[in-house]
Amino acid sequence: MNEKLRTLCRMSKPYWINDYLVDLSRNQISFQGNNIAIPKKSLAVLTLLAESSGKVVSHDTLMDKVWTNSVVAPNTLQRSISQLRKAFGDDSKQQSVIKTHAKQGYSLEAKVKWVDNDILTKAAKSPKVSTAFAIAFTLLSLVMVTFFYFDSTTMPIIHITKVKPITATDTRETNARYSADGRHLVFHRYNNSAQHHLWAIDLTTQREYQLTAVPGNYGSHSWSADGNQLSFVVKKSPPKNLKNKGKCWQLLTLDFAKALQAPQSPVIRSTCEPKRMAVARWLSNGNIAVLHQGDNTAHSLQYYHLRDKRLTQLYLPKNSELYSYDFSLKTQHFATVSRDNNNQHFIDKLNVHGDVLSRATIKLDKDNSANEYYNIYFEPEGKYLLTSTHLGIFQLFFDGTMQKIDTLGHRNLTEPNLHPNGKKIIAIQDTGDQDITVIDLNDENDISASQAVSIARSNELDVAGKFQPNGHLIAYVSNRSGNPQIWLYDGNNSRQLTQLESGLQSMNFSWSPNGDEIATVSGDKVVIISLNGKTKTLQSSLLISKVMQWHSAEHLLVIANQTNSNKAFTLAINTKEKRATMDKELNFANMEWAQFTDNNEIVYMDSSQNIWLKNLQTKQSKAIKIEILANQVGNKILTLQNDLLYGINNKRQLWRYQLSNQDFTILKQLSLSARYISDFKNNKALITRTLRQNKEVIEFYSN
């Protein structure tokens, strides 16, 4: 037998970690033509982690298997981990490849693909093996390397090397998209109201241009194939002579070259549609695709004939709700994302006729919530997509896999868009400063911004304060440590209570009736936190998004997504057995906020910010809309204390509504920074206010 081949067979398999090739025979890690020499012991650590990818490997296991019967320095393992992280462009703060688990060990969080040598092993045992086969194997290995490197599931990861701000204003900018030649960037810039203009910036000269003559509620825009036109949807009030008294949606286009010379009025392309239209995307044939809401509220992918002025349905997925799509002018393919009643998300690839070419379940890790919406944007070559979650920006492939992009510590990023050269990403970064103010209603003076006194002041988001029952603490949500966590304020100092890996899923949480614990949501599950920071995650069949109220010792009121609608449920909780069982479904759809009263009633808010009251003692009773509270909700958060409902309207007035006698009272005029009231106790209110909130366009450069 050929001894060289026999030796080759005994060597450990090479393997891929993302798009890095780990070659144990050469003690190196290769990436895009660069070879990084790694000590054998460090590679042994990496291989043990790769063999248990996604699982925690303990310190003792790594030390025993790699440094058997050896006396080494105390930090030997940590030094190996540091060497490996450096090779992958990782670090101890980001931990996107190798993750530290305090007092436990390490885990490999990246994708691993092994190069199979089973065929080679069988060949080595055959007496007919020759040197020619060894040569053939070498060539085959090169082919395999090429295949794995360029396979769609192992596409090169985008590595960010620097960041550049594009806009830096006191207003909000959103929906930035590169032009086809990459020279211009078109984005939305808001004025002091909810409306905005379309703007462009010449990335070579940094000159800005206002494109629209009048502001509006313009939707996401796209470029025509020749780069001369922009298309987008506008939402507005219908004409007075139209029977539809709600809103209407119209498709608009804008001549980009003319708009660079002077702001233009967009051309109206469609009649007033009473059902929602969104996400206009130019097609190669000159027509425009849109998402369009049907009579059953489900959205379908349709395209609008500009000449015939009519809509034609292209695609409506079965048994799932379509909520995002994009179109690639390069490949002539659509990509769509939908969610089914089991809260699974799907990525579909379609041809221009709406035929499904591929379909895959999006593989969400434990930190990405099924409650999120994964809005998608094609990369220039149409091979994969970009999306964003509360964790950051991701590459999304058509096999359903997601790969996080390291954005060098930048958080709160949305709407990623790749430059035509594939080397730059534009994104919107949401930055803000919110704090919590205590308002004493016994103080007869109106509260101005200068008079307001903040608790636990920082320059990050500190929101949603709640008084401790039977105690003096205030719990609140803050992202000052990275992602949203619960903090406690004792009147003088603050301390971080939770260390939840993926942070809080929403700002909604509730104290237990006795004030000893707090319930919140992380990873679509209810988490119970003791005041010493210990947590218990309760298993439940529901996909829970918000904890609304801990209304009795063993029952929670929560909002969960079921059949693509937010509904309220009561949960019977058992903290000893770490489980939560659905006790009752409250059959109301599209709920944003809900609380039980002391009189066995439920008061709740729907997605249109209507407030309803329902008596739960009689099944026949219908929910009653509280008409006087129409247009009195400035934010989708209210506070209920016994029979009294509190809120803040868009005029920044603090109001109170008594449910029993339907008495509505304006209590105080607050400063313009006030946003919502999160709790009330002993005639004192906790008010969250916004001191600064910007959305800026930033650009990331990749290698």
In order of start, what are the domains of the chain with their CATH numbers?
A: 3-154 (1.10.10.10), 160-431+697-702 (2.120.10.30), 443-587 (2.120.10.30), 590-670 (2.40.10)
Q: What is the mean pLDDT of the chain?
A: 83
pLDDT (0 to 100) of residue 7: 35
* pLDDT tens, position by position, 628-669: 998 888 788 899 988 899 999 888 889 999 998 899 999 888
For residues 483 and 498, give the distance between their C-alpha atoms in angstroms, rounded to a whole number: 11
* pLDDT tens, position by position, 18-44: 778 888 888 888 876 677 888 888 899
* pLDDT tens, position by position, 245-264: 567 889 999 999 999 999 99
pLDDT (0 to 100) of residue 122: 42
pLDDT (0 to 100) of residue 268: 92
Q: Which residue has the higher pLDDT, 471 or 121?
A: 471
pLDDT, mean of residues 535-550: 87
Query: Cα torsion for 350, 356, 357, 362, to the nearest 10°?
Result: 90
Measuring CA to CA, which residue among 250, 246, 248, 256 is closest to residue 232? 250
For residues 62 and 98, give the distance between their C-alpha atoms in angstroms, rounded to a whole number: 14
For residues 554 and 141, give the distance between their C-alpha atoms in angstroms, rounded to a whole number: 61
**Tokens at 235, concatenated:** 């939402």
pLDDT, mean of residues 310-318: 89
Is the pTM higher than 0.75? no
**Tokens at 511, concatenated:** 């104290």
Sign of torsion over alpha carbons 178, 290, 258, 218: negative
pLDDT (0 to 100) of residue 197: 93
For residues 552 and 548, give the distance between their C-alpha atoms in angstroms, rounded to a whole number: 12
The yes-or-no verdict on residue 108 having pLDDT over 50 is yes
Measuring CA to CA, which residue among 448, 452, 450 is closest to residue 439? 452
pLDDT, mean of residues 693-699: 81
pLDDT (0 to 100) of residue 134: 47
Residue type, 147: F
The answer to whether 559 and 598 have CB atoms below 8 angstroms apart is: no
| HEC per residue, 40-58 | HHHHHHHHHHHHCCCCCEE
* pLDDT tens, position by position, 267-293: 999 888 888 889 999 998 888 999 998
pLDDT, mean of residues 614-634: 82
The answer to whether 499 and 533 have CB atoms below 8 angstroms apart is: yes
For residues 472 and 462, give the distance between their C-alpha atoms in angstroms, rounded to a whole number: 18
The answer to whether 354 and 314 have CB atoms below 8 angstroms apart is: yes
Stretch among 148-157, 194-203, 287-296 having the lowest mean pLDDT: 148-157
Q: Which residues contact 108 (CB under 8 A, 6 or more apart)?
A: 17, 46, 49, 50, 52, 53, 54, 97, 98, 99
Tell me which residue has tokens 């090739």. Answer: 21
* pLDDT tens, position by position, 568-608: 888 888 877 777 776 677 767 778 899 988 888 889 988 88
For residues 134 and 4, give the distance between their C-alpha atoms in angstroms, rounded to a whole number: 8
For residues 548 and 50, give the distance between their C-alpha atoms in angstroms, rounded to a whole number: 41
94-to-52, 140, 156, 497 alpha-carbon distances in Å: 21, 37, 19, 22
Sign of torsion over alpha carbons 165, 169, 170, 174: negative
**Tokens at 103, concatenated:** 């007092």
pLDDT (0 to 100) of residue 143: 43
- pLDDT-derived band at 12 (thresholds 50, 70, 90) equals low
Tell me which residue has tokens 């790749």. Answer: 418
Q: Which 8-state DSSP code applies to residue 616?
A: S
For residues 142 and 129, give the distance between their C-alpha atoms in angstroms, rounded to a whole number: 20
The answer to whether 271 and 290 have CB atoms below 8 angstroms apart is: no
pLDDT, mean of residues 177-189: 92
628-to-393, 624, 633 alpha-carbon distances in Å: 42, 12, 11
For residues 190 and 11, give the distance between their C-alpha atoms in angstroms, rounded to a whole number: 61
Sign of torsion over alpha carbons 578, 582, 584, 586: positive
For residues 551 and 557, give the distance between their C-alpha atoms in angstroms, rounded to a whole number: 7
The contacts found for 612-616 with CB under 8 angstroms, 24 or more apart, are 612/588, 613/659, 614/588, 616/586
For residues 676 and 682, give the distance between their C-alpha atoms in angstroms, rounded to a whole number: 18
The answer to whether 164 and 699 have CB atoms below 8 angstroms apart is: yes
The yes-or-no verdict on residue 120 having pLDDT over 50 is no
Backbone angles phi, psi at 506, to 5 degrees: -150, 170
pLDDT (0 to 100) of residue 315: 92
* pLDDT tens, position by position, 216-237: 889 999 999 888 999 999 988 7
What is the CB-side half-sphere exposure of residue 695 using CA atoms within 13 A?
Answer: 18
Stretch among 7-16, 137-146, 207-216, 540-549 having the lowest mean pLDDT: 137-146
**DSSP string computed for 503-535:** --SSS--EE-TTSSEEEEEETTEEEEEETTS-E
For residues 213 and 236, give the distance between their C-alpha atoms in angstroms, rounded to a whole number: 16
* pLDDT tens, position by position, 491-521: 888 899 998 887 888 889 999 999 999 999 9
Query: Cα torsion for 188, 238, 246, 340, to the nearest 10°?
Result: -50
Measuring CA to CA, which residue among 374, 396, 395 is closest to residue 323? 374
* pLDDT tens, position by position, 386-422: 999 888 899 999 999 999 998 888 888 999 999 998 8
Within 10 Å of residue 378's Cβ, how many Cβ atoms? 23
The yes-or-no verdict on residue 242 having pLDDT over 60 is no
Sign of torsion over alpha carbons 73, 75, 78, 79: negative
Q: Which residues contact 196 (CB under 8 A, 6 or more apart)?
A: 172, 174, 188, 189, 190, 215, 216, 217, 218
The yes-or-no verdict on residue 145 having pLDDT over 50 is no
For residues 494 and 488, give the distance between their C-alpha atoms in angstroms, rounded to a whole number: 5
Q: Which 8-state DSSP code applies to residue 239?
A: P
For residues 386 and 409, give the distance between their C-alpha atoms in angstroms, rounded to a whole number: 18
- pLDDT-derived band at 238 (thresholds 50, 70, 90) equals low
Q: Which 8-state DSSP code applies to residue 63?
A: H
Q: Which residues contact 627 (CB under 8 A, 6 or more apart)?
A: none
Sheet hosting strand 105-108, strand order edge to edge = 57-58, 105-108, 98-101
- pLDDT-derived band at 193 (thresholds 50, 70, 90) equals low
Query: Across the strands, what pairs with 108?
Result: 98
595-to-546, 548, 644, 655 alpha-carbon distances in Å: 12, 7, 11, 18
Q: Which 8-state DSSP code applies to residue 153?
A: G
**DSSP string computed for 79-128:** HHHHHHHHHTT--TTT-SSEEEETTTEEEE-S-EEE---HHHHHHHHSTT
- Chain centre to alpha carbon of residue 211: 30
pLDDT (0 to 100) of residue 74: 66
For residues 602 and 622, give the distance between their C-alpha atoms in angstroms, rounded to a whole number: 12
- Chain centre to alpha carbon of residue 114: 31
The answer to whether 436 and 454 have CB atoms below 8 angstroms apart is: yes
pLDDT (0 to 100) of residue 284: 85
Residue type, 282: W
The yes-or-no verdict on residue 479 having pLDDT over 60 is yes
Rg (alpha carbons) of the chain, rounded to whole number: 29
- pLDDT-derived band at 152 (thresholds 50, 70, 90) equals very low
Put residue 451 in one of left, alpha, beta given phi > 0 → left and psi -120 to 50 → alpha. Answer: alpha
For residues 108 and 20, give the distance between their C-alpha atoms in angstroms, rounded to a whole number: 13
The yes-or-no verdict on residue 466 having pLDDT over 70 is yes
